[in-house]
């Protein structure tokens, strides 16, 4: 079953992120998070937001970076109906961030490290 952690980009606050963090820690499962915060109009990767760091810095929750190639062609931002198109999923090595402080510098470091991981996967 899919464990969804909905985050409404325009209405998310610190309290909502804290609830999601607690769920990641207290309810071990597989969750899919998209730290870019939205889709682009041209298919390029957007900068990662610090929310992924807010949820995982200072925890031993494993984060597995993944790159999805072909999703823009399969489901462009302006489309309501997906198109038939090949999607390639590249899966990186799990990381944990218990060594980072659960504060802004740690959040930014998590986001930066994961963004670098995903970019490296995209190049392979």
* Domain positions in the chain: 14-123
Position 16 scores a pLDDT of 78
- Please write the tens of the pLDDT for every residue from 9-44: 566 677 778 888 888 888 888 878 888 877 788 888
Helix, strand, or coil (residue 38): coil
Between residues 30 and 110, which one has the greater pLDDT? 110
Task: Provide the token pair at 79.
Answer: 């489309």
Task: Report the percent of the chain where pLDDT is more than 90.
Answer: 54
Q: Quote the mean pLDDT of the chain.
A: 87
Give the 3-state DSSP-derived string for 61-112, with helices as H, strands as E and coil as C. CCECCEEEECHHHHCCCCCCCCCCCCCEEEECCCECCCCCCCCHHHHHHHHH
The model's pLDDT over 52-63, given as tens digits with 9 standing for 90+, comes to: 999 999 999 999
């Amino acid at each position: 079953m899919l464990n969804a952690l909905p985050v409404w980009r325009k209405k998310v606050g610190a309290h909502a992120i804290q609830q999601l963090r607690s769920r990641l820690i207290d309810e071990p499962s597989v969750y899919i998070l998209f730290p870019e915060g939205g889709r682009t109009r041209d298919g390029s990767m957007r900068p990662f937001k610090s929310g992924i760091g807010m949820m995982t810095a200072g925890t031993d929750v494993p984060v597995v970076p993944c790159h999805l190639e072909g999703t823009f062609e399969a489901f462009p931002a302006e489309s309501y109906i997906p198109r038939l198109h090949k999607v390639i999923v590249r899966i990186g090595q799990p990381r944990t961030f218990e060594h980072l402080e659960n504060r802004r510098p740690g959040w930014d470091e998590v986001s930066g490290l994961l963004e670098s991981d995903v970019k490296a996967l995209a190049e392979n």
